């Protein structure tokens, strides 16, 4: 039996996450210790005593990745052969570390820099723009794209961000553009939209100013072949050492194609109950 492992993204945190594993497995405790030493962040203190700190991207990304790896490292010796790895947004970086394509030290420090860059840019955006993100529920993709084209007819200000499933897509843009989208969608019978509490318009062109400094950060780390293929959120194909830096930069400004990622696993012979999180 083979497995596909998927890792969660930002927003999945909760108080005391991973601490049962840290108490039971030395492998998990070691991950937390090494991450705190590399980043200088009091990760376990945040998790146990100040979970609200993880509302900020710069801290959440490190803490969630470290917890995912702590759990994975505790269990991996008990798992059968792993054929693929993937992760939702931030989880793609967890996959790259777990697969051996990126070392733990390089990966954690890269995620720390990425989070800091994203938080700083989002603070700048909030000073100059009123931008939000909404989840669109049970609206076909063709209908979503049609309304997006109408809203963006004179100027692009609203974008696809996460294609989570056939029934949930997130979009991000100016609050004015989102209001226009909602009005048009409602006229056409699509009324289910939910405002999301996120720090910024991730995976859209609004994040473009982060690309250049992140490219510099990517140039400072080494990528390897790894033991397991990792599926890119951006192109829905396994990463290569030659193309990974370009794709991780594009990952900042292009939609997360998560539904297609799950479809890719299914097409490669995995049933949904075989995809472990």
Q: What is the CATH number of the domain that holds 13?
A: 3.40.366.10
Do 110 and 7 fall into the same domain? yes
- The CATH number of whichever domain residue 174 belongs to comes to 3.30.70.250
Do 220 and 249 fall into the same domain? yes
Do 109 and 222 fall into the same domain? yes
Phi first, then psi: what are they for 93, rounded to 5°?
A: -70, -40
Do 157 and 212 fall into the same domain? no
The Cα-based distances of 50 to 29, 31, 129, 200 in angstroms read: 19, 20, 30, 22
User: Based on the structure, what is the number of domains in the chain?
Assistant: 2
Query: Would you state the pLDDT for residue 275?
Result: 42
Q: Which of 226, 267, 228, 224 is nearest to 81 (CA)?
A: 228
**Among 144, 168, 199, where does a domain finish?**
199
**Among 153, 178, 199, where does a domain finish?**
199
Do 193 and 159 fall into the same domain? yes
Query: Would you state the pLDDT for residue 1?
Result: 62
Do 41 and 81 fall into the same domain? yes
Helix, strand, coil % (nearest 5) of the chain?
55, 15, 30
Do 116 and 150 fall into the same domain? no
Do 40 and 116 fall into the same domain? yes
Do 213 and 236 fall into the same domain? yes
Do 179 and 162 fall into the same domain? yes
Do 108 and 186 fall into the same domain? no
CA angle 14, 16, 19 (to 5 degrees): 130
User: Please, where are the H alpha helices in 76-163?
Assistant: 91-98, 104-128, 141-151
**Among 160, 175, 199, where does a domain finish?**
199
Per-residue pLDDT of the chain (277 residues; tens, 9 = 90+): 678 999 999 988 999 999 999 999 999 999 999 999 999 999 999 999 999 999 999 999 999 999 999 999 999 999 999 999 999 999 999 999 999 999 999 999 999 999 999 999 999 998 877 899 999 999 999 999 999 999 999 999 999 999 999 999 999 999 999 999 999 999 999 989 999 888 899 999 999 999 999 999 999 999 999 999 999 999 999 999 999 999 999 999 999 999 999 999 999 888 766 444 3
pTM for the whole thing?
0.94
Do 175 and 272 fall into the same domain? no
Full residue range of the structural domain in which residue 159 is found: 128-199
């Amino acid at each position: 039996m083979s497995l596909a492992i998927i890792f969660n993204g930002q927003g999945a945190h909760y108080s005391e996450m991973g601490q049962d594993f840290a108490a039971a497995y030395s492998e998990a405790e070691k991950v937390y210790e090494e991450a705190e030493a590399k980043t200088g962040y009091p990760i376990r203190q945040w998790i146990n005593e100040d979970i609200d700190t993880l509302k900020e991207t710069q801290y959440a990304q490190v803490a969630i990745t470290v917890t995912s790896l702590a759990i994975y490292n505790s269990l991996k010796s008990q798992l059968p052969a792993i054929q693929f790895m993937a992760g939702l947004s931030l989880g793609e970086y967890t996959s790259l570390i777990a697969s051996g394509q990126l070392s733990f030290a390089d990966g954690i420090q890269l995620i720390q820099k990425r989070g800091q860059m994203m938080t700083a840019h989002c603070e700048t955006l909030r000073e100059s723009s009123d931008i939000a993100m909404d989840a669109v529920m049970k609206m076909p993709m063709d209908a979503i794209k049609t309304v997006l084209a109408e809203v963006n007819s004179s100027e692009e200000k609203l974008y696809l961000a996460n294609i989570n499933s056939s029934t949930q897509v997130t979009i991000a843009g100016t609050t004015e553009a989102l209001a226009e989208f909602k009005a048009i969608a409602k006229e056409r019978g699509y009324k289910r939209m939910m405002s999301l509490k996120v720090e910024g318009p991730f995976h859209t062109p609004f994040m473009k100013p982060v690309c250049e400094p992140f490219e510099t950060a990517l140039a400072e780390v080494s990528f390897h072949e790894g033991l397991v293929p990792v599926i890119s959120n951006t192109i829905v194909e396994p990463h290569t050492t030659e193309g990974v830096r370009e794709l991780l930069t594009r990952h900042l400004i292009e939609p997360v194609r998560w539904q297609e990622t799950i479809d890719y696993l299914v097409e490669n012979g995995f049933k949904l109950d075989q995809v472990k999180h």
